Amino acid sequence: MKGLQVMKGLHVVFRMLVLVPVLLLAGCSWLDSLSKEDNEKPLELDRIEQEVRLRKEWSVNVGDGQGEKFNRLKPAISGDRIYAASNNGVVVAVDIESGRTQWKLKTGRVITGGVGASNGLVLVGTESARVIAFSEEDGTELWNIKVSSEVLAAPATNGRVVVVQTVDGNLIGLDAKSGEQLWIYETNVPALSLRGTSSPLIIDNFAISALANGTVISIAIDNGTLRWEERVAIPTGRSEIDRLVDIDGDVVINDAGLVLAPSYQGYLAGIDVVTGQTRWRVEESSYVGAGFGFGNIYSVDDEDRVKAYRTGQETTAWINDKLLRRQVSTPLSFSNYVAVGDEEGYVHLLSQVDGRFVGRTKVDGDGVRARMLNQGNTLYVYGNSGKLVALRVE
């Protein structure tokens, strides 16, 4: 496999690109790095007036975090615990209030996808194309199954079926009790693709998944049949790099029943969760997921501008361009704010009204890449080095 340069706006980003044949994906050693030309460094941060302060409630170390590759391992909340995994195989369960570790495993696996946690299961995917299920209660390994290729995103479950997306473009349904494969839905993978996949989202009896070919699909999780398919981005240009249209960020559903799907070199689209029809879209290139709150849809474009759109409107409500080239994470609506992380490990709070900075704190010197979580007034941040931190608004 070869690492290729991808032009991202005005600066160069080294991202891992997947080359066919896809049958070799699981065994390939990927070059995963992210760098910039000397003349396109991250924009330096301006001083801000701290209108809001974030107090650290607790912090737990989770292995080597994201590791040396461009992984996006994220934590998951289920019940009164938060679960996290590291690239070097550590999986932990932490009490969400006190920060006390409930159990900790050293699996000996290279974990590249996770964490999914629901209905008694903690789920991870590995570089060697395994999906592993642990007990939420005590971390006991319940099953371990081989799939078609490496897993780079968190599996999802409704307690009956586990749905996982693999790098070779397959969406696979597994029995939640045994791990036995129930069905497989195959899609075409472009010749070249950004490293990463979107995590499946289960709504009732359907799984919604975003793909590297620029489409979003809804699948019946009982039998793997297609419910609907909608294209978000159309490949254009002569080179394979020009034709990249990956949807790597996780899809979410907002209060208006729209599946929000941002694509690279395509559109940010709002798709009706029932019919699969696009009800709203704006031209935008992004490789992280979208957020919503306060009647807005939040996105981060490939220049790292944080944007807010009023739901159903094509013009921006506000734009914050003070984080250019800082590898900004997926925006999260949190309390009255929008929270984002960056490559230097800062967590920034922006006003949902006008996008101005209202607070900032540094969490992890290695950066914050994973999607953050919140519950009530507490924000949970998983830094790249493996620091899992709970922050509360003061």
Most confidently modeled of 9-23, 73-87, 181-195, 197-211?
73-87
At 212 the pLDDT is 86
Please compute the mean of the pLDDT values over residues 316-328 and round it to a whole number: 97
Report which secondary-structure segment, H or E, holds 238: none
CA distance 394 to 392: 6
User: Which of 140, 130, 134, 176 lies closest to 156 in space, CA to CA?
Assistant: 176
Q: What is the mean pLDDT of residues 236-259?
A: 84
Tokens 């559903």 belong to which residue? 253
Q: pLDDT tens across 351-378, in order?
A: 999 999 999 999 999 999 999 999 989 9
CA distance 329 to 370: 7
Q: 344 by DSSP, 3-state: which?
A: coil
Q: Which two tokens stand for residue 295?
A: 């009647």
Q: How far is CA 80 from the centre of its chain?
A: 22
Q: How confident is the model at residue 240 (pLDDT cuts 50, 70, 90)?
A: confident
Sequence-distant (6+) residues with CB within 8 A of 27 are none
Longest dimension (CA), the chain: 55
Mean pLDDT of the residues in the chain: 89
Q: What tokens does 348 get?
A: 């920034």
Distances from the Cα of 347 to the Cα of 106, 158, 198, angstroms: 29, 32, 23
pLDDT at 193: 64
As a whole number of angstroms, the distance between CA 160 and CA 175 comes to 6
Residue 144 and residue 180: Cα distance in Å, rounded?
A: 10
Q: How many CB atoms lie within 10 A of CB 112?
A: 27
Within 8 A by CB and 6+ apart from 258, the residues are 270, 271, 272, 273, 279, 280, 311
- Would the pLDDT of 25 be above 80? no
Q: Distance (Å, rounded) from C-alpha 64 to C-alpha 289?
A: 24
At residue 3, does pLDDT exceed 90?
Answer: no
| Helix, strand, coil percent content, the chain, rounded in steps of 5 | 0, 45, 50
What is the tens place of the pLDDT at every residue in 113-164?
999 999 999 999 999 999 999 999 999 999 999 999 999 999 999 999 999 9
26 phi/psi in degrees, rounded to 5: -65, -25
Q: Phi/psi class of residue 307: alpha, beta or left (left: φ > 0; alpha: ψ in -120 to 50)? A: beta
Residue 159's CB: how many other CB atoms inside 10 A?
12
Rounded-to-integer distance, Cα 290 and Cα 331, Å? 6
Least-confidence region, from 119-128, 154-163, 226-235, 322-331: 226-235
Residues 288, 29: Cα–Cα separation, whole Å: 23
- Helices and strands in the chain: count of H runs, count of E runs: 0, 36
> Which CATH number fits the domain that encloses residue 48?
2.130.10.10
Q: What whole-number distance in Å separates Cα of residue 354 and Cα of residue 309?
A: 11
pLDDT confidence band for 192 (50 / 70 / 90): low
pLDDT surpassing 60 at residue 17: no
Mean pLDDT of 211-216: 90
Phi, psi of 25 (to 5 degrees): -60, -45
d(CA 195, CA 180): 27
Instruction: For residues 21-45, give the mean pLDDT.
Output: 51
For residues 252 and 234, which has the higher predicted lDDT (pLDDT)? Answer: 252
Q: Give the pair of three-digit tokens for residue 64.
A: 């080597």
Alpha carbons 262 and 247: distance in angstroms, whole number: 6
Which structural domain, as residue segments, surrounds residue 214? 4-393
> How many distinct structural domains can be found in the chain?
1
Provide φ and ψ at 52, rounded to 5°. Answer: -135, 140
d(CA 64, CA 106): 12
Confidence of residue 28 (pLDDT cuts 50, 70, 90): very low
- With 60 as the cut, is the pLDDT of residue 12 above it? no
pLDDT at 22: 37
pLDDT per residue as tens digits for the range 333-353? 998 999 999 999 999 999 999
Q: How confident is the model over 276-297, as a mean pLDDT?
A: 95
Phi and psi, residue 22, nearest 5°: -70, -20
Share of the chain above pLDDT 70, in %: 89
Return d(Cα 382, Cα 371) in angstroms, integer: 8
Q: What is the mean pLDDT of residues 310-323?
A: 96
CA nearest to 344, candidates 45, 5, 86, 33: 45
